[in-house]
Amino acid sequence: MIQHLQLRFNLIMAAFCSAILLLYRDDILGSLLKPLTMMTAETTLALLHWTGIEAVRTATQIYHPGGFVYEIYYRCTGFLPAAFLTVAMLAYPRPLMRKLCGLAVGVSVLWALNLARLVHLFYVGVYNPTAFEVAHTIIWQGVIILVCVGLWLGWIRWSQADKSAGSA
């Protein structure tokens, strides 16, 4: 039974990863995720203003008066890590309520972390532009991956807690 569940999980994750490789492209997902992209840009601008950073937005581009600009597009929304976490939790053999609780917390954490990432990257772009590329492509991508995996592993441990307590 356990081997069957592990095989099922592995097959679902392999199918999801294959689908991502084929479908996670601008011509396929860009327009579908446009509302999420716009909401991400609007929220990022509001957070920048809240932190006291001057910025203006035109559609999905956010500008600083000093000249720095970046564009938020579908890959900047946090959709992919949230999708990975969602598929991993739904594919893993746990009760539905545990899955839903894990998703509510996990996706919210990833959304908030992604917004913090976008605000931080804007700040870096304005005040230390030479560090922007490293912060964007290495540091933050690593942080997002680690947090996503950590959320999933933490959820597995949490969702087993009742089983462990009940069998003692």
pLDDT digits (tens, 9 = 90+) for 19-28: 887 878 888 8
Q: Which pLDDT value is given to residue 164? A: 54
Q: Residues 148-162: pLDDT tens digits?
A: 999 999 999 999 876
Containing domain of residue 37, as a range?
2-167
Q: Give the residue carrying structure tokens 């680690």.
A: 146
Q: Provide Rg for the chain, Cα atoms.
A: 19
Maximum C-alpha span of the chain: 62
What is d(CA 28, CA 80) in angstroms, rounded to the nearest whole number?
14
| CA–CA distance, 29 with 37 (Å, rounded to integer) | 11
Residue-wise pLDDT tens digits, 31-42 = 899 999 999 999
> Tokens standing for 148?
């996503």
What is the crossing angle of helices 79-91 and 96-127, to 10°? 160
Q: How many domains does the chain have?
A: 1
